Amino acid sequence: MELRRKRAYDTADPSDGFRVLVDRLWPRGVSKDRAAIDLWAKDVAPSPDLRKAWHAASDAEWETYADRYRAELAGETATAVSELAREIAQHGVVTLVYAAHDERRNHAVVLEDALRELR
């Protein structure tokens, strides 16, 4: 299985394979048709408190945020992450779709690493 990441505001493409929205909230201004989401895995997204903290944080606090999210993925959302890992294992190409602006520092990067570790 090939695992990829893509912003929700980028055009969906058939080469994306199975598209999984990994945000707790639906991306603003993106219709369901345009998003072409196959699965909305909101249970693996950062908790509302962590999401709000991240929006208020500076770039220098990225590692702290990532560590807190890793702890959530290993703790309270571990079952949801395991279920997602089982679901995506059935597909050749999987794209994690997220709305964050920063393509290198966002929760989908951390989630992708966690899913790779479960494989």
Q: What is the pLDDT of residues 24-52, one digit of tens each?
A: 999 999 999 999 999 999 999 999 999 98
63 or 18: whose pLDDT is higher?
18
Contact yes or no for 81/5 (Cβ under 8 A): no
Q: Is 18 helix (H, G, I), strand (E, B) or coil?
A: strand
* Strand 18-21, strand 39-40: pairing: parallel
Cα 84 to Cα 111: distance, rounded to the nearest angstrom: 11
Average pLDDT over residues 67-87: 96
pLDDT at position 28, please? Answer: 96
Cα 26 to Cα 16: distance, rounded to the nearest angstrom: 19
Task: Enumerate the domain spans of the chain.
Answer: 2-118
